[in-house]
Amino acid sequence: MTSRQQYGAPPEGVDQQVIDTVAVDARAAARGAGHPPRDVPPYVGSRLRHPRRPPVPVRDPEAVELRGPVFGATDVGPLDHDLTAHHRGEPLGERITVSGRILDRRGRPVAGQLTEIWQANAAGRYAHQLDRHRAPLDPHFTGFGRCLTDAQGRYSFTTIRPGAYPWQNHENAWRPAHIHFSLFGTAFTQRLITQMYFPGDPLLDYDPILLAVPEEGARRRLVAAYDPELSVPDWSLGYRWDIVLDGPSATSFEEGER
């Protein structure tokens, strides 16, 4: 699973100045909507991936679930949350603990929520056959994990801080370090996907995907906070990141609020 886009040569005229200008215009147009427009020119992938036809009505919504993946609580193993524990050797990179709570709009915890993450390794490469970034693969790191939230809505992952990588969106385009999060709700059709970023990353101000989020507060909510109380002595650095499903303080998701 990877987020890297393969667009070929960067489009002519798309440089950082264009990204900055159009991102400001897109945010102004979407202000108050709470979610980026589907087509954001600086994010070249949005031109290729957003729907152009009206939704197809589904006569039997429950029939969709019959063709989706089947999930049960027993399918999550005791080490699925630790992305560093699935191989014979230790993965390369900075070990981190990422933890937080999944909450509804009223601040109530969402318990029993299947939460998945996937990410690049410390060199900025995904363990995926389509990733051709000239960075080394780590034989001891696959980059995928999952867990269930507890009664307080809390999740926790042990992983490696991912590296930045080039993504061919425009000239000299690099994605900041990030971790993809997937929340499944109570059915596959409720799935929400978002990205978590790291504080102090200089690439945050240059990323068309993050800059497409209309409101500054919403962009800040996508950045985790360093939390020494989550750090494990002699083992990992701790980062805290809460996810709010809806309401005025909602986390921005790739398909909008549901």
Which residues participate in catalysis according to the annotation?
Answer: 126, 165, 175, 178, 180
Q: Using an 8 Å Cβ cutoff, are 147 and 188 in contact?
A: no
Q: Which residue has the tokens 């650095």?
A: 237
Cα-based distances in Å from 192 to 115, 183, 251, 258: 10, 5, 10, 8
CA nearest to 180, candidates 137, 128, 216 = 128
3-class SS of residue 65: helix
The maximal CA–CA distance of the chain, rounded, in angstroms, is: 56
**CA–CA gap between residue 121 and residue 119 (Å, rounded):** 7
Element (H, E) at 219: helix 216-220
Q: Which residue has the tokens 């290729």?
A: 48
